[in-house]
């Protein structure tokens, strides 16, 4: 997979490029990553990348010329262009799997400001990483890249993707390691029992309980198995405690 990032703060990506996950994917040849400084495309003696908005309003707007020139220099016929924007579609794990199918991604990050709307038209989609205001699209770009790179074959053990939170629609069960007792708090007895079937049921029950109590929104369209319904009956006295 090839990823190119257009940004006016390329230095913000320095530590991301050095991070073990990223460095390993690049050296394996699974990833090519290029950080492009939009400012190098700015024209005119003042090299302006932004300007005030037509019609008035606070703040500055990223200009078409430097961003679209940088984009056109980076793009190929099979590029998928993503604009990072607080007005974009909220990102999730399902979306990560969709993007993993693309061979050539271009991520466009703004900073402090909005984009000229004609830049939005040049993108294939707009993505937000969540409902909070950041100072720019750089951390969202790194968030998306991190989620993709860890899914690239070989960077992590296959089994850990499958068991993971979100992949089966439930939050993770609580986990413990040594010691068995810490400040008077004990590791649940079942985990020490060696009874693999009992342990599997306990983990599933914990996952169900946590999801129902913390993130009921994740369960909106989920179907429950017979076993899950039985476990929820043990927990709440009913087989489907939603709503
Ligand atoms: C005054 C209106 N603001 C939008 C709510 C303007 C604005 C604020 C902050 C425009 C851009 C930004 C910087 N944020 C991003 O570029 C951004 C972002 C975010 O702030 N939150 C979650 N996801 C993203 S993706 C890009």
Low-confidence ranges of the chain (pLDDT < 70): 154-167
Does residue 7 sit in helix, strand or coil?
strand
Q: Give the pLDDT of residue 74.
A: 99
pLDDT of residue 156: 62
pLDDT of residue 185: 98
Model's pTM, two decimal places?
Answer: 0.95
Give the per-residue pLDDT at 243.
Answer: 78
Q: How far apart are CA 234 and CA 238, in angstroms?
A: 8
> Looking at residue 154, what is its pLDDT?
66
Report whether 225 contacts 196 (CB < 8 A): no
Minimum CA distance residue for ligand 1 atom 13: 136
With the most atoms of ligand 1 within 8 angstroms of its CB, the residue from 58, 85, 95, 126 to mutate is: 85
Q: With a 6 A CB cut-off, is 64 part of the ligand 1 pocket?
A: no
Q: Is the CB of 82 under 6 A from ligand 1?
A: no
Q: Report the candidate in 78, 128, 83 with the shortest Cα–Cα distance to residue 108.
A: 83
Query: Taking the CB of residue 238, how many other CB atoms lie within 10 A of it?
Result: 10
Asked if residue 140 has its Cβ within 6 Å of ligand 1, the reply is yes
pLDDT at 159: 43
C-alpha distances out from residue 48 to 9, 30, 44, 56, 63, Å: 14, 36, 7, 19, 8
* CA 162–ligand 1 middle distance (angstroms): 32
């Amino acid at each position: 997979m090839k990823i190119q990032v257009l940004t006016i703060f390329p230095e913000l990506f320095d530590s991301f490029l050095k991070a073990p996950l990223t460095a390993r994917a690049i050296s394996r040849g699974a990833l090519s990553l290029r950080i492009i400084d939009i400012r190098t495309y700015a024209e005119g003696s003042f090299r302006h990348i932004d300007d005030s908005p037509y019609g008035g309003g606070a703040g500055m707007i990223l200009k078409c010329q430097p961003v679209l020139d940088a984009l056109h220099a980076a793009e190929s016929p099979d590029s998928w262009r993503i604009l990072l924007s607080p007005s974009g579609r909220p990102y999730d794990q399902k979306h990560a799997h969709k993007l993993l199918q693309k061979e050539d991604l271009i991520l466009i990050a703004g900073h402090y400001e909005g984009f000229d709307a004609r830049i939005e038209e040049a993108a294939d989609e707009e993505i937000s990483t969540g409902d909070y205001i950041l100072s720019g699209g750089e951390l969202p770009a790194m968030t998306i890249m991190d989620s993709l790179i860890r899914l690239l074959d070989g960077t992590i053990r296959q089994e850990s993707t499958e068991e993971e939170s979100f992949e089966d629609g439930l939050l993770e069960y609580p986990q413990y390691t040594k010691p068995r007792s810490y400040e008077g708090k004990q590791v649940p007895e079942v985990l020490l029992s060696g009874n693999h079937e009992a342990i599997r049921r306990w983990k599933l029950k914990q996952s169900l309980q946590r999801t129902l109590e913390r993130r009921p929104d994740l369960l909106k369209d989920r179907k429950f198995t017979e076993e899950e319904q039985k476990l929820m009956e043990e927990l709440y006295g009913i087989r489907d405690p939603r709503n």
